Amino acid sequence: MFARNSCRALVYRKLLNELLKRNRYLSTNQNLAVVTASNIVPFKLADIGEGIKEVEIKEWYVKVGDHVKQFDKICDVQSDKANVTITCRYDGQVMKLYHQINETANVGEPLIDIQLTQDGTQQLHHTPIVQDDTSEDRSSSTSTGFTPTPQVLATPAVRRLAKDLQISLNDVQGTGKDYRILKEDVLNFDKTKVGLPSTGTTTAPPTTTIQTPMPIIPPSPSTVKQPIVQPPTRTVVSPTATVQTQPAKEDRHETIKGIKKIMVKTMTQANTIPHFTYCDDYDMTELVKLRKKLKKLYQQEKKTLKLSYMPFIIKACSLALMEYPILNAHVDAKCETITYKAAHNIGVAMDTRDGLLVPNIKNVQLLSIQDIALELTRLQQQGYQGKLTNEDMQGGTFSLSNIGAIGGTYAVPILVIPEVAIGALGKISLKPCAPENLDDSSSSSDDDEDSYPDVEFRHMMSISWSADHRVIDGATMARFSNKLKSYLENPMMMMINTK
Ligand code: COA
């Protein structure tokens, strides 16, 4: 511990020198220009990244007259990607709030005015406040739902992960440059916390239990090697599902804002893209049987894993995308370049507390069905609690919308641009079908009705695909769909092809 602290002390001294060097530059430039004679600085909304230009104020943690310190929470804002908590970078007194709740704030414009304390003024002189600071660790100005721990080197994403896992970064040994704490360090620390073996570096998303207010079943000695997740129950489903039973007495006007406003923009843009829709019915009977068996096995071993159909379908999509990479692509705004994406980051349209969002499961090509199930559960839990992050939302390459989870059969999905394909899954339901492999030539004609074969009841699911018709043709979509169908109708084939 002592050795670790002295290493940290060295690093901090190095950092301090670096800041003092930068300060000399800043103090002669824009830094001082923002301080008025009465020591008031506008605290501006920093660049959140991902091209986000505006956010909506969801909650203020301060009011005029409050005294604030660095890293105090200022407000929660919502962007089209996620909810973000903005934390303070100065010590001082709040003099003005620029926005009411639900108003829009623009990146680069003031959120509040702060009258700096004496120390705060010094702080200002010793802290880089340029809003376009491109350093990796910008957590003092903008954080994604966490209050950063000062004096520890870690990116905002790592801090957020630590917060989710209820880990203090001060307890974690960083293995990165200058003892920077990496995601793997936090995950490995978490595993040692619950007695799981450390796996070292991995590119896969975390498969550990994310600590949330949802009830988590503690691991029993016999299940200690198995990450355990309590599935979200439908009782916490989004408020969008609220049913109004009283007839309204008069018309009600509502400003379209937040996620809905973003939806207006993205759906309108997506709808300008010429697309076609292709539908087919898949026989899911074998998969229904397999899932049933697996669920039973998990139950017998007292392991709790939310194993819906989605993890199988997501994995099967990834296997089929290996053969049809054009469907896992992005197209630029002018439609001049197709980028074949290496990662299969499969987005799942999700009915969340804040409305429809499409977080994605990263690197599905590297994940097992169980990994996918765990990650989907995590995203679902985060979505229900309005806690999906920028990282969860960014970088999708292909999307699915499981409308069948609510009950529909067919839907024409709209593209999540710049992606080029999306599928809408219908409800799996028992339907009467002609027997499998029935040779058409042996089927009877109308005048020989008695010789019709008996129908079989099968678990059927309709899938409707929409694709960007500028770069995808119907034949490619149909071949991809056939490939996917072959995996879902013969799930054993997935095992053979899974790496
Ligand atoms: N057919 C039959 N059963 C289905 C089904 C389908 N298409 N989809 C889900 N189910 C079943 C699941 O297997 C699960 O059953 P179980 O309790 O026996 O395991 C149950 O319904 C609940 O599943 P759910 O919690 O919805 O999980 P999921 O992994 O299937 O789906 C989401 C996850 C995120 C896709 C889903 O919760 C959701 O939000 N769907 C709505 C998507 C939407 O709004 N699309 C429209 C976009 S315009």
Task: Establish how many alpha carbons lie within 13 A of residue 214's alpha carbon, considering only the half-sphere containing its beta carbon.
Answer: 28
Structural tokens at position 446: 């109308």
Question: What is the H or E stretch that residue 493 is in?
Answer: helix 491-497
CB burial class (10 A; 0-12, 13-18, 19+) of residue 313?
A: buried
> What are residue 40's DSSP bridge partners?
115
pLDDT in the model for residue 249 = 92
pLDDT in the model for residue 427 = 98
Q: What is the residue with the minimal CA distance to atom 34 of ligand 1?
A: 350
Ligand 1: lining residues by beta carbon, under 6 Å: 308-310, 348-351, 356, 376, 380, 401-406, 425, 427-428
Q: What is the residue with the minimal CA distance to atom 18 of ligand 1?
A: 308
| 8 Å CB contact between 298 and 304 | yes
C-alpha 309 to ligand 1 mean position (Å): 8
Q: Which CATH class is domain 40-116?
A: mainly beta
How far is the CA of 56 from the CAs of 11, 140, 146, in angstroms?
Answer: 38, 20, 18
> pLDDT tens digit string along 409-444?
999 999 999 999 999 999 999 999 987 655 555 555
Of 19-28, 63-72, 270-279, 466-475, the one with minimum mean pLDDT is 19-28
pLDDT in the model for residue 441 = 54
pLDDT tops 80 at residue 233: no
C-alpha 67 to ligand 1 mean position (Å): 47
Higher pLDDT, 56 or 218: 56
C-alpha 207 to ligand 1 mean position (Å): 20
pLDDT tops 60 at residue 300: yes
Instruction: Give me the mean pLDDT over the 57-66 stretch.
Output: 92
State the CATH architecture for 259-435+455-497. 2-Layer Sandwich (3.30)
Q: Which of 149-158, 389-398, 428-437 has the highest mean pLDDT?
A: 389-398
Q: What angle do CA 297, 371, 317 make, to 5 degrees?
A: 100
C-alpha 423 to ligand 1 mean position (Å): 14
pLDDT in the model for residue 347 = 98
C-alpha 428 to ligand 1 mean position (Å): 10
In the chain, list all ranges with CATH 3.30.559.10. Answer: 259-435+455-497
C-alpha 303 to ligand 1 mean position (Å): 21
Spell out where 298-389 has E strands.
Answer: 329-331, 338-340, 346-352, 355-357, 360-361
CA dist 31 and 46 (Å) reads 15
Give DSSP secondary structure letters for 363-375: TGGG--HHHHHHH
Structural tokens at position 312: 């199988």
Instruction: Give me the mean pLDDT over the 319-336 stretch.
Output: 97
Over the chain, what is the mean pLDDT?
76
Q: What is the residue with the minimal CA distance to atom 9 of ligand 1?
A: 405
The pLDDT confidence band at residue 196, using thresholds 50, 70 and 90, is: very low
State how far Cα 132 lies from the chain centre: 25
Higher pLDDT, 54 or 43: 43
Q: In what order do the strands lie in the sheet with 92-97?
A: 40-44, 110-116, 92-97, 67-68
The pLDDT confidence band at residue 447, using thresholds 50, 70 and 90, is: low
pLDDT in the model for residue 63 = 94
Q: What is the residue with the minimal CA distance to atom 8 of ligand 1?
A: 405
Provide the CATH number for the domain formed by 158-188 in this structure.
4.10.320.10
From first CA to last CA, the distance across the chain in angstroms is 41
> pLDDT tens digit string along 90-141?
899 999 999 998 888 988 899 999 999 876 555 554 433 323 333 333 333 3
Instruction: Give me the mean pLDDT over the 43-69 stretch.
Output: 85
Higher pLDDT, 453 or 361: 361
Higher pLDDT, 1 or 85: 85
Helix residue ranges per DSSP H, 70-182: 118-126, 156-164
Give catalytic residues, as residue numbers.
469, 473
Greatest Cα pair distance, the chain, in angstroms, is: 98
User: For a pocket test of ligand 1, which of 308, 410, 416, 427 has the largest count of ligand atoms closer than 8 A to its C-beta?
Assistant: 308
User: For a pocket test of ligand 1, which of 240, 296, 309 has the largest count of ligand atoms closer than 8 A to its C-beta?
Assistant: 309
Atom number of ligand 1 nearest to Cα 307: 19
The pLDDT confidence band at residue 336, using thresholds 50, 70 and 90, is: very high
pLDDT in the model for residue 489 = 97
Q: What is the residue with the minimal CA distance to atom 5 of ligand 1?
A: 405
Atom number of ligand 1 nearest to Cα 295: 19
**pTM score over 0.85:** no
pLDDT in the model for residue 490 = 96
Q: What is the residue with the minimal CA distance to atom 14 of ligand 1?
A: 308
The pLDDT confidence band at residue 225, using thresholds 50, 70 and 90, is: very low
In the chain, list all ranges with CATH 4.10.320.10. Answer: 158-188
The pLDDT confidence band at residue 355, using thresholds 50, 70 and 90, is: confident
In the chain, list all ranges with CATH 2.40.50.100. Answer: 40-116
Instruction: Give me the mean pLDDT over the 204-221 stretch.
Output: 28
Atom number of ligand 1 nearest to Cα 379: 34
Q: Let me know how many helices (H) and strands (E) the chain has, helices first.
A: 12, 18
